[in-house]
Structure 1
């Protein structure tokens, strides 16, 4: 901890040094962010980027990498950088100049920047197609470290990357280019190690809690996914100050997963109506006729809400737990709607399905629960704001619902299951599965643009840390359900990512 404190001061001096070389300063800020240590320097970074936004440096004639990085860092910080800054790299037809193909570093930076695009920025859509095509074709000609960076970015652009994992995978890439005795590299390694020890303790606590519940024996139909459940909030906020939030959300996901499985794969319609009634009242009396395992799930949830109230009372935030309980009641109602559709063999319209699916994605619930752990940022204003499912939360929930459906609908068709977004579109518009996929991919692109737009709105008084939570939930779903693979249900697909964060030592990572 002493060494870490010393290194932080050395890095702080680098950040605050006068800007003599714009590209150097932008690279420094980007590296600090990508190495996962920016939480130590938030005010310093904010001050520099705010100045760059209010007093833009002369960018005309600068190289593609510098301009792209300036644009991306500002947008990442919530500032509106103009996208027409890239017009200087396009010809009279509006196409990007072919000469850019030789500038691989510049193309990679433009590719990363373009994912921060909003509606109507066709140049950035075009930039993604242009850069991804040329980066893929040139991978074999790049030096090993640049190839590693480009390959990773093509899979997980910075905008959609899970911050803690991105830091883990960026450390060896940065190490390959860092000078000997680089204080930033040493700080990144040390900080990752220190914080990882905290995460291990948290996971141990959550795992012991889960074992005591004994769902494996008492609720055998439910997925046993406590480690994956903890991985979720770890992906949303990894910083030491969010320990309570990670614990609450990790436990909530584990129990909510069992609730989902009860509606989805176990209860009869009559039992599920009683189950939902118990949530409406927060009272177990309607559950007298239902199987014991359903009562176990309900009581586990009730106990968890009591624990939330106890934990948040220490910070004077227990008054916000009712917001979470109310959101859970809405989730139970939405699950019941799906159960009725399934029971009747009814295939809703896509619009009808999505309206209910925003709720059954669980993201309105998990995001509002995550805010309980935000200390001073957990205010009545923030909880009132999210309770109305604002545009950014709706977009995040759509990303969750549709990415989940794209990954799991073929598996779910093998048993009795409510129609997914894919089947709803195919049935409603009499189109092929491939055409339905194309529509949903476009919906996902639009949802990310909604998120990008909402992150650049200064009005509303919602702190950046709150918006970042919503963004990171969207990134986690891209990892867990992206590329048409349900890594939560088929947890072996997530194993390496989990190990990278809470098992594997970081000490020798820079040598890999």
Structure 2
């Protein structure tokens, strides 16, 4: 809901010179301007696409190929994930982790491998007990002091601890233990380990946005001596291809938003369509979800408009027909609304009509009703708060 609300006279042309005092939130304007309105007119050439496919198959073979030990396998899978290309190899990765889960090698139970195995398996939904870390405690129940010299192991334990669930005290202790010791040594480490530790202390893998983390890890992985050249090249090409798709999507959304002209028609409302797209890209970035990203960004944008109308501008009397119009969901209701509400009401219905038509092509038109019900629910909450 909107914040920073103050009472301002209704001198805006939107109010038709009404005498009442309106709540008005003082939102900052968008910082993006028309930056994303146009997209670079370039496409991935055929040679690059062919190289992308060739490298993809090479990486696929490496994922399933036997390796000297499970540590190598886990490291490779972790790199594939952190470089943001694991969506190409979902089944292969699941199969390899399934095999590791059922064939644990006691000879590979050092801190680094144990922590990495724990994190990857938990990330993929395997039931792994935190008791695997008990062996790293001394007789007094504290983590062994000898662990502090194993910085890669500490870093992996730190990352693994962020997949804890309620009641796992040993992982709560692990976060405190690893954080303290990593902070003590980070300044004395060499690159790229120093960068990995520094970045992790600011934000763990678990709390990062996949695309942002992938971009960061691309630069770090390049400087890791044992990096896989084919994987790195594939990840770079894939990142650029996907980024171009995202730019095209955002450009399309920004053109839609600019055509609505809400900046002039509804100056009280937030202009956060770019942030909305960024949010949804954090939910799912993969190319097959392109339609979902575009539709949900529009849904978020319209939800923000409705929110600001209720919370930051409209009077209680104006909200009565507005609330009824949303409940009836009928364009004929538009004539009962104040003039300034009409553009946003029509845009709201248009977004869900577009969604309905797209879902109908896939035989899933019924799903839009669930989305509309969410609008009804939020509308009721907004209206109750306005009373």
TM-score bucket of the superposed structures, by smaller chain: 0.7 to 0.9
Counterparts of 2:206 and 2:318 in 1: how far apart (Å)?
43
Q: Deviation at 1:181?
A: 7.1
Q: Deviation at 1:85?
A: 0.1
Counterpart selection for 2:169 from 113, 122, 125: 122
Aligned length: 339
2:3 matched to which residue of 1? none
2:217 matched to which residue of 1? 170
Counterpart selection for 2:234 from 187, 195, 203: 187
Q: Deviation at 1:289?
A: 5.7
Q: How does 1:352-367 map to 2 (within 5 A)?
A: none
1:338–1:150 distance in 2 versus 1, CA, 3 Å: farther
SS of corresponding position for 1:144: coil
2:68 matched to which residue of 1? 20
Counterparts of 2:378 and 2:140 in 1: how far apart (Å)?
50
- Asked if the contact 1:274–1:287 (Cα under 8 Å) also holds between the matched residues in 2, the reply is no
SS of corresponding position for 2:366: helix
1:249–1:214 distance in 2 versus 1, CA, 3 Å: same
Counterpart selection for 1:6 from 47, 54, 64: 54
Q: Deviation at 1:94?
A: 2.3
Q: Deviation at 1:61?
A: 6.0
2:355 matched to which residue of 1? 308
Greater RCO (CA < 8 Å, at least 6 residues apart): 2
1:349 matched to which residue of 2? none
Q: How does 1:335-350 map to 2 (within 5 A)?
A: 335-340=382-387
Please list the CA deviations of residues 374-394 of structure 1 after superposition, one character each: whole Å capped at 9, or x if unmatched. Answer: xxxxxxxxxxxxxxxxxxxxx
Counterpart selection for 1:148 from 159, 184, 195: 195
Counterparts of 2:96 and 2:105 in 1: how far apart (Å)?
15
2:55 counterpart of 1:34: no
- Asked if the contact 1:59–1:67 (Cα under 8 Å) also holds between the matched residues in 2, the reply is no
CA RMSD in angstroms, aligned pairs only: 1.7
Counterpart selection for 1:68 from 111, 115, 122: 115
Counterparts of 1:64 and 1:165 in 2: how far apart (Å)?
28
1:309–1:287 distance in 2 versus 1, CA, 3 Å: closer
Counterparts of 1:27 and 1:338 in 2: how far apart (Å)?
52
Counterpart selection for 1:205 from 252, 258, 270: 252
1:46 matched to which residue of 2? 94
2:268 counterpart of 1:221: yes
Q: Deviation at 1:19?
A: 3.5
Consecutive aligned runs of 4 or more in structure 1 exceeding 4 Å deviation? 178-181, 284-290
Counterparts of 1:180 and 1:165 in 2: how far apart (Å)?
20
2:199 counterpart of 1:131: no
Counterparts of 2:177 and 2:62 in 1: how far apart (Å)?
35
Counterparts of 1:69 and 1:31 in 2: how far apart (Å)?
11
Counterparts of 1:28 and 1:181 in 2: how far apart (Å)?
9
Q: How does 1:456-495 map to 2 (within 5 A)?
A: none
SS of corresponding position for 1:94: coil
Counterpart selection for 1:242 from 272, 280, 289: 289
**Structure 1 gaps, min length 5:** 341-512
Q: Deviation at 1:215?
A: 0.5
2:381 matched to which residue of 1? 334
- Asked if the contact 1:255–1:301 (Cα under 8 Å) also holds between the matched residues in 2, the reply is yes
Counterpart selection for 1:110 from 157, 160, 171: 157
Which deviates further from its counterpart, 2-11 or 91-100? 91-100
1:269 matched to which residue of 2? 316
TM-score by length of 1: 0.64
**Structure 2 gaps, min length 5:** 1-48
- Asked if the contact 1:171–1:185 (Cα under 8 Å) also holds between the matched residues in 2, the reply is yes
TM-score by length of 2: 0.84
Structure whose CA Rg is larger: 2
SS of corresponding position for 1:267: coil
- Asked if the contact 1:309–1:318 (Cα under 8 Å) also holds between the matched residues in 2, the reply is yes
Counterparts of 1:18 and 1:73 in 2: how far apart (Å)?
18
